[in-house]
Amino acid sequence: MPSATLRGPRARVYACIDPRVFTSAFIFLLFVSAAISGYAASIRGVVTDASGAKVTGATVALLSNGTIVGSGASTVDGSFQILTGMTGRFFLVTNAKGFRQLETPVFYAGRMDNIERNMVLEPEWVRESIVVTATGTPTPQPQTSAATNVLGQLDLGLRSDMASALRLMPGTAVVQSGQRGSQSSLFIRGGDSDDNKILVDGVDVGDLGGRFDLGPHSTTGLESAEVYRGTNSDLYGAGAASGVVSLTTPRGTTNFPSLMFQGDAGNFNTSREQLELAGAHNKLDYLGAFSWLQTSNALPMDEYHVATTAGNFGWQPSGTTQIRATVHYGVAATGVPNAWDFYHVTDHATQKDQDLYLSGSIDNQTTADFHNLLRYGATRKREQFSLWEQRGSGYFDAFNDSLGDQVTITGANGYSVTGRAVLDYAQTYPYQYQLASNRDQLIYQGDYRFTPHLSALIGFHFEDERGVENVPSYATHDATGRTNYDYLAAVHGDFKNRLFYTLGGSLEHYSEFGVATSPRAGLTFYALRPRNGIFSGTRILFNYGDAVREPGLTDEFGSLYRFLALNKDQTIAQQLHIGPLAAPATRTYEGGMEQSFLGQRLLFRASYFHNEFGKQIEYVGGRLLPKLIPNLTPDQQQTLIAALGFYYQNDYPLTVNTEAFRAQGIESTVESGIGRNLFLRGGYTYLDAVVQHSFDGDNEALASGFAPTYNGIPIGAISPLQGARPFRRPPHTGFFTATYAQRKWTGAFTAAFASRSDDSTYLEYADANGLNSLLLPNRNLDHGFAKLDLGGSYQLLTWLGIYAQGENLTGNQHIAPIGYPSLPMNFRAGLRMQFGKGSTR
């Protein structure tokens, strides 16, 4: 019997199988199918395009060990069936005219097993991925109304961290406060950086309250990143207020142990080594990876290193049940030189992180229509900051605070100041700060397909959270425990493969804020079905959703309620009707369209979004708090003043739910392919965000007539003033990517753009005289930037390849916020070696 064997490196780029091989194998198998059918496994399914339309005449091949062992063709209703008398690990390859060749993940099939694998084909020229975050179950993008994109292996393969990769998404802004390894925050559609739910293999890996620092996290052991933009608390609980980032770990696929080593070196004393062992045998698949990266960066005392370990182990006792465990463990340490441009002296400080993420799941296809998933997840995060000594240029002010050098600070708005800023305050050294977040999760999700056009999902999430904030220098130790429950339900369906809808909601019970509900609805309608022609498909979409976020650890520990409850008499809080922090809330509306051109060779998407962020948490100065609490009598105000004591006298801040802002904008992308190998994608987002309510200390000063100003221009020193834009969210962002892939060559050119954004120097009462002379107007203080990257690889031999990656090719120093010079042009080049025998699958 003719056979086709796929060979090559594990780059997941395979040659198309000759259709004549399918034909020969199909005729031969007709004669032997009757003999083996009594003992055969059955692999069946339906072939559709991304809109749900049936595809007739698609050739489907069943492969084991890289060799065709069965084949078939889809009938008029799109269905196919392949019988095999073999047991083991298989995958399907599907070809159809006008569509890209599709491969399924590897699966196990035993004798007499009935396996269902539906095939959704992409147009040959554009990318329409299968996504999960939009509906909770794998769904083609065009059948969802949500804004969801996927970064794949070509986007992540040559990068060492996620920060630059996530800039290649519409509606996102990544802010990295320094160079490689420094604190990095993700802002989605104008929301705060802790409004995002970050998942690794379905497990929430953020700190308690949603904060997630991208800086110390490596791409080792990550296969793809799915980014959902919009509220999604109905599926993922509190925290998914602006978006969801779902990261997945690759699986072993080769039928032999495959060992891969890659090592590279570059400027700034940078080196990176990675070792990966993966494979599969019968019912078991396995993958283990370890990497080490170190660099000096371009500033003194800014060395960075990170070690990452990842594993993925799966066992399929039958074709319908899968047990899987994954692990990610990262240990990172980086210097924290502070804002070099403000001092020209670096701090002697370090930031260390230890992050452990565990996932264990049982996945069962109970019947052809009923699917169940049970998952346990554990997150253990440790963070330690140490400022080892007081540094400065040798001059100390009257308070014995140390100062930096004389500098001139110039903002992107053209304003500048000259002076000396306080570098380190007089205190006992070393100063240390420690934060720990622990979370155990139990997740159940079941989905049932009533008809091919209607399915439902139910789920339950349980979380046991423990958090600690420890400041040994001040002898403070705060701890908290939280128990959270989510109940969720949703339906997803369509009407004649033209109107697709998602309706869902959740009931959330959180220890910190009580009970909340989060409904969500989405509709998408094909006004013009996909077809050939200049206008080859028109889709209209609409989304609505509510979401909430759990207060963070520092929010809880620094709240007015906790201060009164722990440090004073809790009856004062009760008398003044001051309760625990409420859940910050989000409401979003979105409407848009998608248009295909030239027989789906060109795809354009555009949408308008409007987000309202209410009950946001901010730090309010102690002197303003008695005026802020509504309906207090003069006697009650005096009671609160007395209770605040030192906090009132020195105007120290505490957290309350007093801020609100809105963010609206237009998000657009365009993508197209040129041939089978070159893919182009670009996007632009306009963001109009404004603070609607704010009662922080800066506004108090403004109302009292002694606000920080710059030649009469009011300044928000620590947070934006009412009517201004939220900090570090540029109104204009964009990106462009061009990726090329064939058997030996791969290449990727990417560019990320951002306009100027509002910010502060944060140097309030921090000049040599204890005044505000080093503050600058907030508007357009941060520089706009263009970050250009280029990378590629070449396969010299079947076991040896070379690769290189260059970032920030123009040497832009203003990608980071004001005060923090960005890492200049940097590059790495190295070798990739792979050892093993047999097929690549």
Average pLDDT over residues 540-560: 94
Residue 455 predicted with pLDDT over 50? yes
The pLDDT of residue 703 is: 60
Average pLDDT over residues 79-93: 87
pLDDT tens-digit map of 468-513:
999 988 888 999 999 999 999 999 999 988 999 999 999 999 999 9
pLDDT tens-digit map of 432-451:
999 999 999 999 999 999 99
Task: Tell me the DSSP string of 763-803.
Answer: -TT-BTTSSSTT---STT-BPPEEEEEEEEEEE-SSSEEEE
Question: Is residue 368 within 8 Å of 357, Cβ to Cβ?
Answer: no
Q: Is 457 exposed, middle or buried (0-12, 13-18, 19+ CB in 10 A)?
A: buried
Average pLDDT over residues 551-567: 90
Average pLDDT over residues 560-588: 86
The pLDDT of residue 63 is: 87
pLDDT tens-digit map of 155-187:
888 888 989 899 999 999 999 999 999 999 999
Instruction: List beta partners, residue 64.
Output: 67
Reduced to 3 states, what is the DSSP secondary structure of residue 20?
helix
Task: Tell me the DSSP string of 431-454.
Answer: EEEEEEEEEEEEEEEEEEEEETTE
pLDDT tens-digit map of 245-298:
999 999 998 888 999 999 999 999 999 999 999 999 889 999 999 999 999 999
Mention every residue, 6+ apart, whose C-beta is less than 8 A from residue 581: 512, 513, 551, 555, 556, 559, 561, 617, 655, 656, 657
For 652, phi then psi, to 5°, come to -75, 145
User: How high is the mean pLDDT of the chain?
Assistant: 89
Angle at 288 between CA 284 and CA 290, to 5 degrees: 180
pLDDT tens-digit map of 394-433:
666 667 889 999 999 999 999 999 999 999 988 889 999 9
Helix%, strand%, coil% for the chain, nearest 5: 10, 50, 40
Instruction: List beta partners, residue 115.
Output: 43
Closest-CA residue to 359 (of 372, 378, 373, 374): 378
CA dist 102 and 129 (Å) reads: 11
Distances (CA, A) of 407 to 208, 391, 468, 774, 782: 39, 16, 38, 10, 17
CA dist 224 and 574 (Å) reads: 49
The pLDDT of residue 15 is: 40
Average pLDDT over residues 744-770: 94
Locate 183 and state its tokens.
């604190």
**Unique residue bearing structure tokens 């005096």:** 638
Exposure of 770 in the CB half-sphere (CA atoms within 13 A): 7
pTM, entire model: 0.91
Reduced to 3 states, what is the DSSP secondary structure of residue 563?
helix
Locate 35 and state its tokens.
């003999």
Sign of CA dihedral 199, 202, 207, 210: positive
How does residue 6 score in pLDDT terms, banded at 50, 70 and 90? very low
Angle at 689 between CA 687 and CA 691, to 5 degrees: 175
CA dist 226 and 214 (Å) reads: 15
Locate 190 and state its tokens.
């104008």
CA dist 574 and 23 (Å) reads: 79
Distances (CA, A) of 5 to 22, 100, 117, 744: 13, 19, 22, 17
Reduced to 3 states, what is the DSSP secondary structure of residue 206?
coil
Question: Residue 598: left if φ>0, alpha if ψ -120 to 50, beta else—which one?
Answer: left
